[in-house]
Amino acid sequence: MSMPKNISIIGVPMDLGQIRRGVDMGPSAVRYAGLSEQVEELGYKVNDKGNIPVERPASSLQGEGLTNLQAIIQASTHLAAVFSEIKQAGDFPLVLGGDHSVSIGSVAAAGMHDENLGLIWYDAHPDLNTEETSPSGNIHGMPLAVSLGIGNQQLTSIGQKLPKVKPENIVIVGARSIDEGEKECIKKHGIKTFTMHDIDRLGMTRVMEKTIEYLKNKTSNVHLSFDLDSIDPQDAPGVGTPVLGGISYRESHLAFEMLSEADIITSADIVEVNPILDQKNQTAHVAVELITSLFGKKLLYSPSPEDKKIMGVEYGN
């Protein structure tokens, strides 16, 4: 399926999935960095639908053992409804977070529109924890598990369909901080995972070739969940949970350019931009620059089909 030419932006100003404040300002920071203007320059029609309301509870633990559970359920349910409306209209939903718990709603909605959804989890963390395995009880470390139908039933039932995505249709890229319970989950469910060790050994070109090959023939729609902490803190310092030794700025451009050429991404979320920890909105600008690469921005020009063959890129149109 080709990427739609109409893009609808949804902001989710939510920092409830963890205890560090600031990522609720992520949508504003990314907008301020010129997201709409730069995407429109590429020939897309952009409709910014504003932010969904996020209520901050008086108590973070609401008798469930998970931080801000009920508030996250409410926000995720609202996001899933708006995301679903955008999909039904034939537009590309682009979600701005917020912490990574926002993807509970976006992946739930994407899964409702495709029984065989593909998912690229571009993140330093697999986010496969549950209440039993999480060291913190923070829900931003659980959204991929929730999307697989694993964990708290109130979270997994958002969007009704279970699972939202099949484990064999997931590729994790850039993981470098993996809890023991997450390692067991990856092994048990056979989730395709490219750690930083794999990126170092194979190079980003081969990792993305393998990712595209793995997903393109088995799925018709692919959601990209892009956590800015996948990028090395030198290039993206303003994130919720920074981890040293990440993907470089240039490697990420290459990855997103290859995804653009493959033309498989049909929805996305951008999460964990924290302006409080940033330097002159650097991380938000990185997010915008990478997303415009995903939408087709090139250093010189868009390659023709003949150029793609010469370069060995045969995944696109």
Q: Which residues are catalytic?
A: 100, 123, 125, 127, 140, 227, 229, 272
Any binding-site annotation on 123?
A: yes
Where helices occur in the chain by DSSP H, the ranges are 26-32, 35-40, 69-88, 103-112, 143-147, 153-156, 180-189, 196-202, 204-216, 249-262, 282-294, 305-310
Q: Is 125 annotated as a binding residue?
A: yes
First to last CA, the chain: 10
Residue 179 labeled ligand binder: no
Residue 171: burial class (beta carbons within 10 Å; 0-12, 13-18, 19+): buried
> Identity (one letter) of the amino acid at 35?
L
Work out the burial of residue 149: count CB atoms within 10 Å of its CB; fewer than 13 is exposed, 13-18 middle, 19 or more buried: middle
- Residue from 6, 175, 5, 30 nearest 95 by CA: 30
User: Virtual CA dihedral for 1, 77, 121, 287, nearest 10 degrees?
Assistant: 90
235 is in an annotated binding site: no
The candidate with the shortest Cα–Cα distance to 198, out of 237, 247, 239, 236, is 247
Residue 269 counted as an annotated binding residue:
no
C-beta atoms surrounding 300 within 10 Å: 5
> 73-102 burial string, b = 16+ CB within 10 Å, else e?
bbbbbbbbebbbebbeeebbbbbbbbbbbb
Q: Please, are residues 158 and 107 in contact by the beta-carbon 8 Å criterion?
A: no
Q: Does the annotation place 15 within a ligand binding site?
A: no
Residues annotated in a binding site for Mn(2+): 100, 123, 125, 127, 227, 229
